[in-house]
Every structure is written in structure tokens, then in C-alpha cells.
Copies of this chain bind each other. A is one copy, B any other.
Amino acid sequence: MLISESALRIFTQNIFLAMGCSDEHAALSADVLIKADLRGIDSHGVARLVGYVRLWEKKRINTKPNITIVHQTPTTATVDGDAGLGLVVAPFAMRLAIEKAEKYGSGWVSVRNSNHFGIAGYHSLMAVEKDMIGFAMTNASPLVAPTFSNERLLGTNPMCYAFPAGKYPPVVVDMATSAAANGKLEIAQRSGKQVLEGWIQDADGKITTDPHALKSGGSLLPLGSDREHGSHKGFGLSATVDILSAVLSGANYGPWVPPFVSFLEPPSDPVGLGIGHFVGAMRVDGFRPVDEFKANMDNWISRFKSASTVDPNQKVIIPGEPELEAEADRTKNGIPIVDAVWDDLLGLAEKFDCRLSPY
């Protein structure tokens, strides 16, 4: 099913309005989700809308949050999201980081009491628009086992770094710190295919290629896959995201992070409030003139784009490039929605009496 950006945006806004969001929050939440669909990160777009609705129905998402700054210095702050949608809490935090950077050169905000914030790239790119370098990360419900363990203690905990360039588009490094994204497992589960060795282990910590192992107590592996290929580095990166996002803000961390799905209850012994994010912005001109930086970014990008490749038909991919190509294509030609998600959206259309029509 293909649907135009504008039709999907209006529908998504209307669902958020029906959940009780303000006009501003509904528009912003829809913008974050639609941006994911446009950029080809389908797992983080409107596919998640029904999940947000179910968590709201269980009163685990507050659609009228009073987002507050609970602690701050000129360049640092902790924000309490009041159990609001991460889709509005994270942009609030990033706007605050940008304001601080405008005055003092940089700004850093740790966030507690939030929910799933969509794609990290959305938030980092807010800084890039102001000729700043953007940082965004979030912890997430536990699916990943640390090196040597067979317990799920960490989320796929993404980190994102975004850099403005000149004639080229921004460089956007936006990555889960696990070897494989959970979305890839779900695709394999649906299609009945095996997955690669190095993505997951079973409940006993044995290597497996069965994508269903995750549902029977198995876990995703950190980036690096095993100790000899650096899984302790993936674990270390994931730990860094968890600490900056949650230990620093007072959110839940590690195995205490509440699940994103309504059919699993949050831990009964929380160590903090909701989930945590960490965002930051640094003014490029806090280090060197913007035009100099951009000229060197262009040279960097140009050199890597023209690198010799193993397969002459496969060029080196600059981080952020595939997402930008998807965005250009989907803005023009519409957003493809898989059947299962389309059925979910039709269900929401009926529940909330909102119009939904394909392209």
C-alpha cells in the first residue's frame, strides 16, 4: 500500500489529537513518526502508532504532560518528561540544548520519565539546522545480553551523531549498539527465515540462527557479536547510552527499563522514572568558522565517496545517505506501508473515526 506523506501526516496527527494531545504536540509527534517513514526507517514510523495508543490506554503514556526542567547549569540540564510521549519530550530537551549552545557554545540535556522517542536522527538534525553538531541517544527495554551473559540487561540503545556539511547533505551516524536491529529479527520471524550467526543467542547463551529464540528467552548480541570480534565494545557503547540517558537523569536503567509493549508490565521495583534520553548540541563556530568546517566536511565526504571499493558496483556509503535517498523518493512517490501495519492503521481509523485513504 502506498500513501502520500500529507495524507499519512494528517491521519497520524488526528490519532494523536484523539488521544488528547494538544495541537502542537500532535503535529510534532506526527512529524517525528512521518520523518522515520520518509527516511525508510519503517520500524520507527507509523508502524509504532498502535503501540503508542495501547500504552496510552493503559495510562502508561500521558498525552497532556507538564514537561519540566528539574535541575540545570548554564550548559547542562535534567528534564522530567512527566510520562509524556518521547516524540515531544525529546524535542523539548533538544530545543533547550540548542538554546544553551546559542548562549554558551554547547548544551547537554539528560531526560527522565519519558517514552520511546522515535528515530534519534530527528532530534540530532534539529541541531544541524542551526549549524550545530547534534547528539541524541536513548535507552530502551532490555533485549541485549552483555558479553559473557545470557541475561537481557540492555536495550538496543541507539546513539546518533549528526554533522552539517556544505554542498553535501549532513553526515548522520544513527545506529543501534546491537549487532542487528530487532526489526530484522521480526522480518525473519514473519518470513520463516533463519538469521545470521552473530545476531542472537538462545536462552542458554548458545549461538543460534532461529529468529524465534528471542521470544523464548534468547537475546540480541551487542555490536561485535562475540568477545573475539569486539562485543565488549558494543556492550561498552550500550552501557554509555544507558548511563548518560538514565543513571544521569534518574530514569530506569538496565533491566528496569519499562517495556514498550502494553502486554508486558513494567518492573514492579523501578529504580527511576520512565525511560531516559540524552541529547546535546555544540555550535560549529564554537570551534572554527562554519564555512571552513563545511568546506572540510565536503572534502571528507568527497574523499570517502570516491574511495576504491571491493565491488566496483558498490560504492562506500556515507552515513545518512541511504536515509536521504529514501526521503527524496518517498516525499515524491509516497510511503509504502506493509499489510500488517496498514491493518493496524485501519483499526485505529475505525476506533477513532478518522479518515485514512491510500495514495
25 contacts between A and B (CB under 8 A): A74-B75, A75-B105, A76-B106, A76-B287, A78-B288, A108-B282, A146-B316, A149-B307, A149-B308, A149-B309, A150-B310, A153-B304, A161-B244, A171-B239, A171-B243, A175-B230, A175-B233, A179-B230, A196-B228, A205-B309, A223-B230, A223-B234, A224-B224, A250-B288, A254-B300
- Which of B179, B237, B239 contacts A229, CB < 8 Å? B179
Counted per complex, copies of this chain come to 2
| Cα A105 to Cα B300 with chains together (Å) | 32
Contact assessment for A146 and B293 in the assembled complex, using a CB-CB cutoff below 8 Å: no
Q: A78-B288, A148-B317 are in contact. List 14 more A-B contacts (CB 8 A).
A: A71-B288, A73-B106, A76-B106, A106-B108, A146-B307, A148-B315, A149-B307, A149-B308, A163-B247, A180-B229, A196-B228, A223-B230, A235-B319, A250-B296
Q: Across the interface, which residues of B come within 8 angstroms of A293, CB to CB? A: 247-248
With A224-B224, A317-B232 in contact, is A288–B249 under 8 Å at CB?
yes
Q: Which 5 A-B pairs have the closest CB atoms?
A: A205-B310, A73-B105, A76-B286, A173-B236, A76-B105
Residues of A within 8 A of B (CB): 71-78, 104-106, 108, 110, 133, 146-151, 153, 161, 163, 171, 173, 175-177, 179-180, 196, 198-199, 201, 204-206, 223-225, 228-230, 232-237, 239-240, 242-244, 247-250, 253-255, 271-272, 282-284, 286-288, 292-293, 296-297, 299-300, 303-304, 307-311, 314-317, 319
Q: Which of A105, A151, A180, A225 has the largest number of chain B CB atoms within 10 A?
A: A105
| Cα A110 to Cα B247 with chains together (Å) | 27
In the assembled complex, how far is the CB of residue A233 from the closest CB belonging to chain B, in whole angstroms? 4
List the B residue with the shortest CB-CB distance to A74: B104
| Cα A108 to Cα B163 with chains together (Å) | 16
- Which of B151, B236, B283, B307 contacts A153, CB < 8 Å? B307
In the assembled complex, how far is the CB of residue A157 from the closest CB belonging to chain B, in whole angstroms? 12
- Which of B78, B106, B173, B304 contacts A106, CB < 8 Å? B106
Q: Across the interface, which residues of B come within 8 angstroms of A237, CB to CB? A: 173, 175, 237
Q: Across the interface, which residues of B come within 8 angstroms of A282, CB to CB? A: 76, 108
With A104-B74, A105-B74, A254-B303 in contact, is A240–B173 under 8 Å at CB?
yes
With A73-B105, A104-B74 in contact, is A310–B204 under 8 Å at CB?
yes
Contact assessment for A309 and B150 in the assembled complex, using a CB-CB cutoff below 8 Å: yes
Q: Across the interface, which residues of B come within 8 angstroms of A247, CB to CB? A: 163, 293, 296-297, 300
| Cα A76 to Cα B229 with chains together (Å) | 35
With A76-B286, A150-B310 in contact, is A243–B163 under 8 Å at CB?
yes
In the assembled complex, how far is the CB of residue A224 from the closest CB belonging to chain B, in whole angstroms? 6
In the assembled complex, how far is the CB of residue A268 from the closest CB belonging to chain B, in whole angstroms? 16
| Cα A225 to Cα B204 with chains together (Å) | 25
| Cα A230 to Cα B144 with chains together (Å) | 15
In the assembled complex, how far is the CB of residue A277 from the closest CB belonging to chain B, in whole angstroms? 13
Q: Across the interface, which residues of B come within 8 angstroms of A206, CB to CB? A: 310
| Cα A293 to Cα B276 with chains together (Å) | 14
Q: Across the interface, which residues of B come within 8 angstroms of A146, CB to CB? A: 304, 307, 316
With A75-B105, A148-B317, A250-B288 in contact, is A198–B271 under 8 Å at CB?
no
Q: Across the interface, which residues of B come within 8 angstroms of A163, CB to CB? A: 243, 247
